[in-house]
Amino acid sequence: MGWIRANNTASAKPFGEPEANEKTESDAEHIEITEDESNNDKAYPILSKRVPEKDLPTIPPKEVKEKDGKEGRRLWIVIDNLVLDCTSYVRRHPGGQQIIQGFGGQDCSWQWWTFHDRKIWNDIALNLRVGRVEGIENRHQKPKAFVGLRGFGYQED
Ligand code: HEM
């Protein structure tokens, strides 16, 4: 795999870490965003995973909901109140493009953690953060965990 290459250092400055978007060895291992593809959003560029969560910009929910990836708009998803820009990543998603597109501008926290582990979070998702948001609801209720057989007629004796 290659580099995360972000050329938007200047636009990242307001968030307090001038070198925030410099590539590093650890960033480099698992995600490749070429100069052309990154086409970073000027208002909300993708920030390095070295930027602490508390220093991410807070994005109004209205703006997040607009980023549905349609008609040239950026494709953002929300996981655990973090906003991830999947505009470029979606094309290389091993689970297919459609599933991410279906969550554009929306929360998909529990669905995400159903299919991915902490390593994928650390290696890839953390390299896609653009900010934080409060108040974006998941449109699907999380199914209750399957806790026993009683409901299916199992009888204890
Ligand atoms: C930041 C966004 C995302 C990243 C970085 C990401 C990353 C990945 C990776 C690395 C895999 C391969 C996993 C493996 O081979 O073990 C994968 C598979 C998959 N992802 Fe994602 N994904 C993202 C978003 C989503 C979303 C929003 C969904 C929908 C809920 C989703 C659903 C899936 C599914 C269904 C698979 C296939 C799982 C399987 O074959 O067992 N992903 N994803």
ipTM of the shown complex:
0.95
Q: What is the widest separation between alpha-carbon atoms in the chain?
A: 69
Ligand 1: residue of 91, 116, 136, 138 to mutate (most ligand atoms within 8 A of CB) is: 116
Domains of the chain: 9-152 (3.10.120.10)
Residue 94 Cα to ligand 1 midpoint, Å, equals 6
Q: Which residues line ligand 1 (CB under 6 A)?
A: 77, 84, 86, 89, 93-95, 99-100, 103, 108, 111-112, 115-116, 120, 124-125, 128
**For the chain, how are helix, strand and coil distributed in percent, rounded to 5?**
35, 10, 55
| 31 vs 46: CA distance, rounded Å | 13
CA of residue 4 relative to chain centroid, distance: 15
User: Starting from the edge strand earliest in sequence, which strands make up the sheet with 106-107, in order?
Assistant: 106-107, 76-79, 82-85, 129-132
State pLDDT tens for residues 7-58.
333 333 333 333 444 444 444 344 554 444 456 788 999 999 999 999 999 9
pTM equals: 0.77
User: Cβ of 35: how many Cβ atoms within 10 Å?
Assistant: 10
Residue pair 103/93 in contact (Cβ under 8 Å)? The answer is no
